[in-house]
A and B are shown apart, each in its own frame.
Chain A
Amino acid sequence: MSSLVKEFGRTTRERWALATLAGIFNGIGFVYFGPMSLIANVPLLCALRYSPSYFESGLLAGWVGFLGGVHIYGIINYGWFLLLGFSLYTASQMVIYGLLFRWLWRGRGGLLDILVVAAIWTVSEWIRTLGPVCMPASYVGNIADVSWLRPWLVLTAWIGGIGVSSFVALVQSLTFHGLISFRHSQKSIVFMTAFLLVFGAVGVTQFSAESGGQTVKIAGVQAGLANSQYHAATADPAAQDGIIRTFETLTRRAYEGHPDFVIWPETAIRGDVLRDTALHSRLFPGNRDRSILLAGLIEQDKQGKRFNVVASVLPGGQVDDIYRKVRLVPGTESHLTPGHSVRAMRAGSNYVGVMICLESVYPDMARRLVATGAEFLVIASNDAGFGFSPITRHMTNRAMVRAMETRRWLIRVGQAGISAVISPNGVVTERLGLFKPGLIEGQIQLRQNQTLFVRFGDWWMVLIFGIIGVGAWSVRSKSVVKSAV
């Protein structure tokens, strides 16, 4: 058995079989079962070590990325091109991974080889957060809802989500090296395993960071509608009124509970609510209400530009501040104009960090919002187009990561769901499932402290590039020695 594992991958057919298996594992980890990510790339690594060329390494890894990418099939409702584009984008990330492995992995099984495998994953994942059309995807997002991994997950407050993804890749590396050369790597494997356990123990001590701060009551409004209902509303005034009545009923019900904040999802009502005074009296908090409404709406300015916004509306109906979505979804939101300022939004005497839908997958968004004073975070979203596919659960996982990175309470309000109240430790304290109309209510604490991640961002990457640098130097030295001989 042991020799089979060690030898498997020598033929081209075996390498492609391993790569396909890795693609499926990554897909499972991505959308179905997060802990699978802990071993997802092990078959690929087994294939890459026997790969004879950079070309084949790139192809094998790209195939893994493509297979993993197509598991996010929920986006197909927005167009085939998006699913294809996303899968090819993920494939390109994996090509980088495969090429870096081919370049830097020496096959000696020591500490450096183990670290290099974790580091190259981290680099390839980090690259996905760069550039104007980037689309981050992360191992930490896959495992964010796995409670037994929480001791490591809470460390995102220090090392960011990218750091915890490094840990996942490190587990993959340890498994890989344990399978192929345990005898040679024994000491390094034991050392790095102990390193991970120590980090976990440190993480446990961070659980107490959950408490503290002024307590406020919040209520999220989830209409639970399908997108087809919004499409019908564009043609039929009665359908539009049905949507308005749904939000009116739920919002009034929320006001009756006297929460400090009532939160709507993204583009809850797609009319010009901000200018329609008749709707203000139906929807906005009145003088007797004590809630501030954070309303996901479409805003149209005097030049006719349309923005995807969240407006904070004070008791009495006065609009206090407006956050305009900065990162629009490529293609599907091309009719909208992006905002140009990522900042915490004023809501009465408090500041709230708002992310609208896709913005929540970018680690720097929550970080910048908290750095500019956000005391809690809100994600206003509409995931109805994904149907019952697992994407919305994955997006909720990403929300957990944002809460843990910044140590802020976070309220995710989805038009169709999933809505959730998430603690700074990433624990979901309240939850409302998909396509269920209702309110999600809870108590949260306002926070002012700033985590290491908020202050210094991706400082973890300095360590990672340090490992890459040492790896590159080691490979180069080896080449120099070889050529000298």
Chain B
Amino acid sequence: MLCWTSWVLVRAIEELRGGQVIQGLTRTYLPPYQHALGWVIDPRTTSLSAELIARYGQGIRPIDDEPWQKTLRRIGFRLGQFKKGDPLVEPSLLVHQNREIPDLWIGRFGLKYVLFRQSIGVLTIDELPAYSSAIRLEGLERSR
């Protein structure tokens, strides 16, 4: 009976843990997890450049290791800088002094912020990480 209980427990943990990788029709889905910044709701290891193309560059071919600035130009964004104190309304890139790659601010979800960070994926966070400037993405209709 002890053996059975142990076996069922191990099996249940294996079957129910959120660790399964799901091969979807359009891409691979990784399980969500808690990160120091917040809850990673849609983990992915893609670059910012690839993410920008996936969201805003329909029909544009991704290029490996392309700098994100070039990607923005290829997509056709006009980049509008704005002050740090201004409220974030449109999708924006949050540039950090100590990080080479900015975060993509996607929007708000209730009281939380929704953010894409390169190599981590989409997170929901309570407070935005400190950033030095923000680049508003203008000039394209948000298709996604």
Contact pick for B12, options A73, A235, A239, A246, CB 8 Å: A73
Give complex CA distance A76, B32 in Å. Answer: 18
- List the B side residues contacting A436 at CB < 8 Å: 23
Q: Which residues of B sit under 8 angstroms from A437, Cβ to Cβ?
A: 23-25
Q: Are A229 and B29 in contact (CB under 8 A)?
A: yes
Interface majority SS (helix, strand, loop, mixed), chain A: helix
Closest A residue by C-beta to B114? A235
Binds B, one of A147-155, A218-226, A269-277, A320-328: A218-226
Would A238 and B144 be within 8 Å (CB), given that A74-B15, A225-B29 are in contact? yes
What's the Cα separation between A246 and B4 when bound, in Å? 40
Q: A435–B32 contact, CB under 8 A? A: no
* CA distance in complex: A353, B139 (Å): 49
B22 close to A (CB within 8 Å):
yes
Is the pair A229, B42 in contact by a Cβ cutoff of 8 Å? Answer: yes
Determine whether B122 belongs to the interface, using a CB cutoff of 8 Å to chain A. Answer: yes
Smallest CB separation, B103 vs chain A (Å): 14
A21-35, CB < 8 A from B: 21, 24, 27
Query: Could you tell me the distance between the alpha carbons of A229 and B24 in the complex, rounded to whole angstroms?
Result: 10
What B residues does A226 contact at CB under 8 A? Answer: 20, 22, 29, 31
Instruction: Say whether, besides A231-B32, A245-B26, A435-B20, A387 and B15 are in contact (CB < 8 Å).
Output: yes
Cα A390 to Cα B12 with chains together (Å):
9
Residues of A within 8 A of B32 (CB): 228, 231-232
Contact between A246 and B24, CB atoms less than 8 A apart: yes
A229→B22 CA distance, assembly (Å): 10
Separation of A71 and B41 alpha carbons in the complex (Å): 29
Q: Is B112 an interface residue (CB 8 A)?
A: yes
> Is there a chain A Cβ closer than 8 Å to B124's Cβ?
yes
> Are A236 and B114 neighbours in the complex by a CB distance under 8 Å?
yes
B79 within 8 A of A: no
B16 touching A71, Cβ below 8 Å: no
A76 / chain B contacts, CB cutoff of 8 Å:
12, 16
Residue-wise interface mask of A (59-85) relative to B, using a CB-CB cutoff of 8 A (1 in contact, 0 not):
000000000000101101100000000
Is B70 part of the contact surface with A, judged by Cβ < 8 Å?
no
Q: Is B31 a contact partner of A249 (Cβ separation < 8 A)? A: no
Contact with A along B34-50 (1 / 0, CB 8 A): 00000001100000000
Q: How large is the interface on A (under 10, 10 to 19, 20 to 34, 35 or more residues)?
A: 35 or more
Distance in angstroms between the alpha carbons of A435 and B124 in the assembled complex: 25
**Is B1 within 8 A of A21, CB to CB?**
yes
Interchain CA distance A140-B26 in the complex, whole Å = 39
For the complex formed, measure the closest distance between the CB of B46 and the CB atoms of chain A, giving whole angstroms: 11
Q: Which residues of A contact B25 (CB under 8 A)?
A: 223-224, 246, 249-250, 437
Select A224's contact among B17, B24, B42, beta carbons within 8 Å.
B24
User: Given A224-B22, A235-B124, A236-B122: A241 and B12 within 8 A (CB)?
Assistant: no
Given contacts A235-B114, A236-B41, A239-B122, contact A77 B16 (CB under 8 A): yes
Q: Is B22 in contact with A435, judged by CB distance below 8 angstroms?
A: yes
- Assess whether B106 is interfacial by the CB under 8 Å rule: yes
Report if A388-B20 is in contact (Cβ < 8 Å); known contacts: A228-B31, A232-B41, A238-B144: yes
Chain B 69-106, CB-CB to A under 8 Å as 1, else 0, gives 00000000000000000000000000000000000001
Residues from chain A with a CB closer than 8 A to the CB of B17 are 387
Q: List 11 A-B contacts (CB under 8 A).
A: A20-B1, A225-B22, A228-B31, A228-B42, A234-B109, A239-B42, A239-B122, A242-B26, A245-B26, A387-B18, A437-B24
Known contacts A229-B22, A231-B32, A437-B25; can you find 14 more A-B pairs with CB under 8 A? A73-B12, A228-B31, A229-B24, A235-B124, A236-B41, A236-B114, A237-B107, A238-B106, A238-B122, A239-B42, A242-B27, A249-B25, A388-B20, A435-B22
Give me the interface of B with A, judged by CB distance under 8 Å: 1, 4, 8, 12, 14-18, 20, 22-27, 29, 31-32, 41-42, 54-55, 106-107, 109, 112, 114, 122, 124, 142, 144
The 7 A-B residue pairs whose C-beta atoms are closest, nearest first, are A235-B109, A437-B25, A232-B42, A232-B41, A388-B15, A389-B15, A73-B12
